[in-house]
Every structure is written in structure tokens, then in C-alpha cells.
């Protein structure tokens, strides 16, 4: 690997890592409400079933 390849990799790395972090954050933010609404549904379901 010559020095040009190495500098090219170093230049691309921050862009890749920031887009990777952004992607991970977006996925986490999207899955959080789904998880919470699922938990809420389960709790409501249990509460409803226990009153019947």
C-alpha cells in the first residue's frame, strides 16, 4: 500500500464513521417508540385481562 492509498483511506474514514453513527442513531430512535408502544400494549393487555 503506497502513501496515496493510505491518505485516501484516512480521508474517507471520518465520512464513513459519521454516516455509520448517524445510521445507528436513526435505527435506535426509530426502534425505541416501537419498543415502548409494544411494552405499553402488553401492560394494557395484562391489566385488561386481569379485570375480566
- Number of separate domains in the chain: 1
For residue 2, what are the domain limits? 1-52
pLDDT digit of tens for each residue in the chain (52 aa)? Answer: 556 676 676 666 676 677 888 888 888 888 888 888 889 899 988 988 887 7
CA pair distance 35, 33, nearest whole angstrom:
5
> What pLDDT score was predicted for residue 1?
52
> What pLDDT score was predicted for residue 41?
92
Mapped to the 3 state alphabet, what secondary structure does 3-41 carry? HHHHHHHHHHHHHHHHHHHHHHHHHHHHHHHHHHHHHHH
DSSP, res 2: -
Amino acid at each position: 500500500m503506497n502513501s496515496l492509498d493510505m491518505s485516501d483511506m484516512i480521508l474517507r474514514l471520518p465520512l464513513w464513521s459519521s454516516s455509520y453513527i448517524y445510521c445507528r442513531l436513526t435505527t435506535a430512535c426509530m426502534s425505541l417508540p416501537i419498543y415502548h408502544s409494544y411494552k405499553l400494549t402488553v401492560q394494557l393487555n395484562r391489566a385488561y385481562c386481569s379485570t375480566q
